[in-house]
Structure 1
Amino acid sequence: MMRSAEIAEIAGVTVRTIRHYHQIGILPEPPRLANGYRNYTADHLVTLLRITKLTDSGLSLAQAGTLAAGSAESIDTVLIEVDRTLKEQIAVLTKQRELLAQARTSGHVGLSKVAAALSVSSADIPSAVLLAHLYNDAPQLDTFAEALMEPNLRAALLQMQERFDTLDESSTDEELEELTTALRSIIPKVSDEIPPLTNEQSQLVLEVAERGLNDRQKEFLRLHPPEL
């Protein structure tokens, strides 16, 4: 015969856990002694140990309680379902690890591969995130992103960003046109295969991209809105 603290210590759980199992109905409550204390038996301990082992194997508390009580109609059905759930969880975790690895490699934490490729400077991140989302269904997107990360092209884009950053009220129309020509010459040809944004989508990206820019930079973007 055991009290709550004793069976909890033997099973390696807490008294609070045992009370929770009673509340949700997966561990039968033992009869109480005259002094009000619960009086646990070896059978309770075995059930508790089985529940612990089953939940360690990936079963939910409800599934573990059913199997531990021997009332499952088909043990194989339950185990197949648990295995399927675990497989899905592994796939999700694997994808999350891949995204973290990409973020560590690119230095762009929290960005997709495409958003990281589109971010030439920290100021580009909001519009890059939006563009990557709007173009998410384009099958050529990965190829485009890989092209943007090519070292020589990356260096050229950084130079273009530096030129854009110098635009101000004193910049001439000729300078803007030269910048446009230079930009078009370095954008990967694969972008020609990606469908254009709708007018509403372009305006949304433009709204985000224009934040913090001077009038001349905004004028340049309006003539050549950010899109792939």
Structure 2
Amino acid sequence: MAWSTRELAELANIKVSAIRHYHRIGLLKEPARQYNGYKKYGVLDLVRVLHIRRLADLGVPLSQVDELTDDRARAPDVLREIDAELALAIERIQRTRADIAAMLPDSASVDVPAGFEPIASRLSAADRALLHIYTQLYDDAAMSDLLQMMKTGVGSVDDDIEALPADADEATRQSLAKRLAPIIAESLNDYPWLSDPATHLLKSEQVTRETFIKAILELYNPAQLDVLKRGSTLAHEQVRAMREANEDAE
């Protein structure tokens, strides 16, 4: 019994191109040819192809097939390595499924980091962009704190800042800054690391500072930047005043 390349491929349930590839990389020896020049595959060729396919299905790289065939003692080590890689892949898939599950109930936006789905619809485009950047700058503990801040801090002030035109007048800017200041002050009190984030940084302080500055300069217009700066200044003044008052009371 002899099979052509096509017949062998059908028996092994693979493509003809796969058999040709096995020949090219030396995994499958060239068979004898019939009088008409066509390849003539036998039972041992079929077994070899099925063996290659079995190892490939297990995740063994084709470059290691001969090694495992020649040295069966190596098989457990290689399979353990593959199993570890599969475990990591499964973990990544499970995380992805969990993220998707969190997005589906509330039709949450897909352009926010994991965990922020419940408040995605309340975030401005700039907020969502900054959050993605923050994931590369701050550790998980900091991101968890940021989530809590945004749950309580997102509201009409954020909406008004987002809608603020670049040529907003002085009175509007100052009014917004005064409304923003108590929110920032509360966060500074509740999360002291905001004043000194060094222990929560994933990158150097210089890289973090430069990245943050570049981001806000591109994401906010001049009026919005002015409001954010004023609000931050007022918030720090409020925090200092409260701390001094507490010290005097003691």
Matched residue, 2:214? 207
Matched residue, 2:236? none
Runs of 5+ consecutive residues of structure 1 not aligned to the other structure: none
Whole-angstrom distance in 2 between the partners of 1:170 and 1:110: 33
Q: Which amino acid aligns with 1:217?
A: Q
Matched residue, 2:4? 3
Matched, 1:157 2:158: no
Over aligned residues, Cα RMSD in angstroms? 3.3
The share of aligned pairs that are identical, in percent, is 24
Whole-angstrom distance in 1 between the partners of 2:159 and 2:179: 11
Task: Say if 1:187 and 1:108 are closer, same or farther in 2 by CA, change over 3 A.
Answer: farther
In the comparison of the two structures, how many residue pairs are matched?
A: 218
Q: Deviations over 1:75-96 (max 9, x none)?
A: 3223222222222222232233
SS of match in other structure, 2:40? coil
| Aligned counterpart in structure 2 of residue 222 of structure 1, from 213, 229, 242 | 229
Matched residue, 2:109? 108
Matched residue, 1:147? 148
Q: Normalising to structure 1: TM-score of the pair?
A: 0.76
Q: Which amino acid aligns with 1:162?
A: D
Which is richer in helix?
2
Runs of 5+ consecutive residues of structure 2 not aligned to the other structure: 199-204, 233-250
Matched residue, 1:27? 28
Task: Say if 1:101 and 1:65 are closer, same or farther in 2 by CA, change over 3 A.
Answer: farther
Q: Map of 1:4-153 to 2, 5 A cutoff?
A: 4-67=5-68, 69-104=69-104, 107-113=108-114, 120-135=123-138, 137=139, 139-142=141-144, 144-148=145-149, 150=151, 153=152
Q: Deviations over 1:86-113 (max 9, x none)?
A: 2222223223333444454672314323
